[in-house]
Copies of this chain bind each other. A is one copy, B any other.
Amino acid sequence: MRVRKSLPKKKATLEDVARAAGVGPMTVSRTINGHPYVATETAKRVLAAVRQLGYRPNHAARVLTGQLSKTIGLIVPDLADSFFSIVSHAVQEAAREAGYIAWLAASNGDPSIEEAQIEEMTHHPVDGILLVPANSQSKYLKAVVSGSTPLVTIDRPIDGVLTDSVEVENRAGARIAVEHLIGHGYKKIACVVMNSHLQPVKQRIAGYEECLRHANLSRRKVVLSDQNAQEVLSKLFASPDRPDALFTANNSSTICVIKTLRSLKIKVPRDVALIGFDDVDFYTLLNPPVTTIRQPAVELGRTSTRLLLQKIKSMPSTSSARTVLPVTLMIRESCGCKQEVTT
């Protein structure tokens, strides 16, 4: 813990330090920035003065002279969402460890808010932006990609342009889930989705279909909204070929389905099995505990931050790449597996 006699009214400037150390401003600047060619003796005097005055370089002045701002922007649809909040926390941490500040913004999934945030960030300026695009088709985003601010997308790519992106194995993950259901002997596996316009969800659907086609089983995609869930699912389960298993392709659909099945008195996994994509801690507390595909949220945050920071250092000669992170099947009970009650 630093001790300070009294909080100085005016913050010390580089010149103050120079005067106190009896050197020129440049020597202070060089010392602080770890430049070579500073006599060890001089450096000591400067450092002493810095400590004594509690000097901290003025950020604005540095930026004004063309230095990096050491700030990255992160834009997610919703900071309160469990998945994005984990990603955000990881980004914040990785940024801090690298001496970077994280400017966090939420778009609420609104492309116009997203655009305004990006405009602000690029002009502020930040050194780079981490983005979970609200709309993959956005023309504006395409233009940003070819702009001068390094950008890395998280979870979702931008259509039609080559960007650095960090995603998860959506397609393969869906296949793993569906294969597991097939392994249980289920024949009528339906895929339930909300927000089916999102890239990752589309990929999960593709994985689902691919897998069933392979197994020669019939496919059935059910698009849900919070409003029509009751009606759609009750119809689905009243139909002659009602499904014996469900693959819910994202968190919101998993929750919606669980709620609705309960009110319809359809028991999981007795009446229908269930595997969801995207894991949430609370799923272990549900009855039955929900089997899911877990996404590496922390890794997503750390990896994308690292990538962006690299890109910032090596601009503009960098080529873009897609990084795909593996997912894990978390076997619990909603899929039909039994599980011992262990502590």
Contact = CB atoms under 8 A, between A and B. Distances in A.
A332 interface: no
Interface string A89-112: 100110010000111111010000
A161 interface: no
A161 to B, nearest CB: 14
Contact of A7 (B81, B146, B342, B343): B146
A21 B1 CA distance: 53
A194 to B, nearest CB: 16
Interface stretch (A37-45, A178-186, A206-214, A279-287): A279-287
A306 interface: no
Contact of A285 (B59, B104, B255): B255
Given A11-B123, A148-B7, A89 B103 contact: no
A124 interface: yes
A86 interface: yes
Interface string A198-236: 000000000000000000000000000000001000000
B92 A105 contact: yes
19 contacts: A1-B140, A7-B148, A11-B123, A59-B60, A59-B123, A59-B125, A61-B64, A78-B89, A80-B82, A80-B85, A80-B86, A81-B85, A88-B104, A96-B105, A96-B117, A258-B285, A259-B285, A263-B342, A285-B286
Contacts of A230: 343
A197 interface: no
B102 A105 contact: yes
Contact of A124 (B1, B59, B92, B148): B59
A139 B80 contact: no
Number of copies: 2
A92 B64 contact: no
B82 A88 contact: no
Given A60-B63, A101-B103, 6 more contacts: A1-B139, A7-B148, A9-B148, A102-B103, A282-B285, A287-B287
Contacts of A115: 1
Interface in A7-36: 7, 9, 11
Nearest to A264: B343
A341 interface: yes
A172 to B, nearest CB: 26
A58 interface: yes
Contacts of A69: 60
A79 interface: yes
A41 B180 CA distance: 72
